Amino acid sequence: MNNNTNQEEKKRKILVLDASVVIPSSEVTLLEGLKVTVPEVRGELKDSTSEMKFSSMISSGELKEMEPTKESIEFVRRKSIEMGENLGDTDIKLISLAWELKSSGEKVILLTDDYGIQNVASMLDIPWKGVFQPGIREEVKWKWRCPACGKTYNELVRRCEYCGTQVRRTGIGRGRKTT
């Protein structure tokens, strides 16, 4: 057995958790590996039971909160915009954290049911897994298009600058299969 194989086997698995993983019905406590998330996930929890579960996991050391660097946040934000995804700050930070950990050589799995997060993670070669949903089947690049005049935008614009009609997101390219 060579040294590279030994190092691979010694790597710990790090699970980066989205808010959907912390809800009461998930069996997140049964998952093996170091569990991490970003502090903003706490603000996405919708009920007191989820908040209590989250707090309990933090206080017991079962879940660690980590902050990605500003550089990785900006990198992921740019890639997200290039893909046409309109992700929130928490989503960007989760992907950024997974990206940093993966880039440092860690074995990472991003756990999320959010298709936008899965799409950007897939494009960045970050392994992901759905929790309650199977997940995306292939990467999709999106643009914003006016249904009235046909004008397209690379970034989110609510209304067409030419005719004022509300724009819609439309897939312009299919990428790699994810399953």
Q: 106 falls in which pLDDT band (50, 70, 90)? A: very high
Average pLDDT of the segment spanning 157-168: 92
Higher-confidence residue: 24 or 23? 23
Position 3 scores a pLDDT of 44
pLDDT of residue 11: 65
- pLDDT, residue 34, reads 92
Query: What would the mean pLDDT of 145-158 be, rounded to a whole number?
Result: 88
Residue 19 has pLDDT above 60, yes or no: yes
Per-residue pLDDT at 161 exceeds 90: yes
Mean pLDDT over 77-94 rounds to 93
Q: What is the 3-state secondary structure (H, E, C) of 57-100?
A: HHHCCCEEECCCCHHHHHHHHHHHHHHCCCCCHHHHHHHHHHHH
Alpha helices in the chain (DSSP H): 3-10, 19-22, 48-59, 70-83, 89-103, 115-123
pLDDT average, residue stretch 158-168: 93
Q: Which two tokens stand for residue 100?
A: 């940093």
